[in-house]
Structure 1
């Protein structure tokens, strides 16, 4: 029977998102009796994996990729001086790991994941080691230049409507900024001048695009996570259509610094025109932690 009771890893959350830009924690347990140990160690590691399978009729092809971002180990009770006797009662061993800069945030998707794990192990002579492991939600500090995306975005498109109708469509679309955080609402609008002879319908859609990569092969998931459809715009009219773009509370952050997995967002504003190609404008969006957006907003206010 193991003398170790309530063996657990407790982490210290360092931000309001409940994620860990670095790892600080405590290995704790209770000893039922005095116990001799050879060593107590804690190991942290980060791995990214991608896998999917394609069916080519009579056979299947498996695609797999793997990356290890780091592996670090430290001894809380060293082995250099022989065995160590731990007295009966509660024990707490603090530890910390400085995770390397530039590695991606934790992620779990249908065909890939980025997982960071901490494992503690207690070794004893002639005994199986006692161990405990726990996954950490790591948040990278490495995001594209947020300050550049804070400004409003605006684009225009013109289209001649022919064959089954005549005239021209003009649309100018805008969004108040190109960076946001989960749970936020962005302000967008489209100003449409319908000089054609057809009814057109304005639409707004927010997309999340995940790309998994194995060498030169890719598997893409492009999902609409928000959509709004405006009222039809009659011929020979000009209308401005507003849209409150709601970012889902559970939206994962933009992921750009992993070689085998990427997560991107974009807002598409377009006109649904029957029997014609839809004119559209597309805005790339960054989804980042709320504290980064608020910090940038405060910095801009301070410069006013």
Structure 2
């Protein structure tokens, strides 16, 4: 029967989440109780940070084992002077305090997956002559501070795609989409807005998918997986219609953080906006998304499009961030305040304050004759500066073919 009882190692947390980052000090205590005077050889604590991956590829004839390992740091501190002959400790309760500093550097966050893990461990061990050592390990929840500069990723993201529908129908589909942020935390909600111009004879449905892509690497071999965390299906869009579709995607509260600074394990997130079209290749737009701790995302603006209320008078709307999908020159830059460096909205985009999407009626000052004339000049010469509402006219009339406006 061992005379060493209640062997334990504890450490003090620095925040409510119980996480540590680069440069933090980890204070702790090794404690145990001796039922009698006992000769002890050494007591030490060891802290390590490591990454491991391992998986097996199977084929009909053979199997291949793939593995890789990375060690980020290892520290060892003796709390009791090591003596080969041993030193007698008296009966009773003993406490040995320690402190160690997590090194600075680009260290990846803690992670556990199907084929690999990144683990930061604290181990305490007591050794005696002619006895098996007594040890205990405890994991440290490490959150990296090495993320892209926050001010570069707080603005909305925009993208567009156009596609000929296919052999079984005629026409083209154009979609512009905007995601209101690029960085968020678990539990947050992101807004996705898409404008779809269906100038084909097909019906289609917009779909939104939050995807997590994990990749494990061992030498030249890789093992990847794609997981859908949130998926929403929109309403059907009829042929030859323009629709505005939007949705709210919630980040799962247990989502792990984006992992990009480990060379053998990576975790990335994407918001996929696409149109489900039967018997045709689905047009899609992929938006990268960074998921990080709330302490890193608190810098971002709390509004959808910057420090303004979306759709309020004089403030930018989602449409200001939708990219143009037509080959005309950008309209001249406007001076004055704007969200994330974008120009302030045009007067025509501020008329319907209860609707953040300008209505085609706002462009009614342009007759069909004027539109054809302007469009012909733009497509043929490509050098005219659009008036205030010209861009909206072109967007709402995208279903017209070039031959119809020339």
TM-score by length of 2: 0.70
Tell me the residue number matched to 1:46.
Answer: 49
> 2 CA distance for matches of 1:297 and 1:87?
60
> 2 CA distance for matches of 1:128 and 1:187?
58
Quick check: 2:42–2:83 contact (8 Å CA) kept in 1?
Answer: no
Tell me the residue number matched to 1:247.
Answer: 251
Tell me the residue number matched to 1:73.
Answer: 76
Tell me the residue number matched to 1:10.
Answer: 10
> 2 CA distance for matches of 1:231 and 1:255?
34
Tell me the residue number matched to 1:20.
Answer: 20
Tell me the residue number matched to 1:226.
Answer: 230
> 1 CA distance for matches of 2:235 and 2:257?
32
Per-residue CA deviations over 1:92-122 (Å, capped at 9, x if unaligned) read 2222222222121111111111122211111
> 1 CA distance for matches of 2:300 and 2:231?
28
Provide closer, same or farther for how the CA distance between residues 234 and 125 of structure 1 changes in structure 2, counting only shifts above 3 A.
same
Q: Whose Rg is larger?
A: 2
- Which is further off, 241-250 or 16-25? 16-25
Select 2:130's aligned residue among 118, 126, 131.
126
CA-based RMSD of the aligned residues comes to: 2.1
2:267 is aligned with 1:270? no
Q: 1:146 Cα deviation (Å)?
A: 2.6
2:66 is aligned with 1:63? yes
Q: 1:85 Cα deviation (Å)?
A: 4.0
Select 2:171's aligned residue among 167, 170, 184.
167
> 2 CA distance for matches of 1:297 and 1:91?
51
> 1 CA distance for matches of 2:187 and 2:49?
28
| Secondary structure, counterpart of 1:137 in structure 2 | strand
Q: 1:20 Cα deviation (Å)?
A: 2.3
Q: 1:297 Cα deviation (Å)?
A: 4.7
Tell me the residue number matched to 1:198.
Answer: 202
Q: 1:25 Cα deviation (Å)?
A: 1.9
> 1 CA distance for matches of 2:112 and 2:42?
33
Flag the structure with more relative contact order, 1 or 2, with Cα contacts below 8 A and sequence separation at least 6. Answer: 1
Tell me the residue number matched to 1:216.
Answer: 220
2:296 is aligned with 1:292? yes
Provide closer, same or farther for how the CA distance between residues 161 and 81 of structure 1 changes in structure 2, counting only shifts above 3 A.
closer
Q: 1:296 Cα deviation (Å)?
A: 4.6
Tell me the residue number matched to 2:108.
Answer: 104
Q: Identify, as 1 or 2, the structure richer in strand.
A: 1
Per-residue CA deviations over 1:117-140 (Å, capped at 9, x if unaligned) read 211111233333222112222222
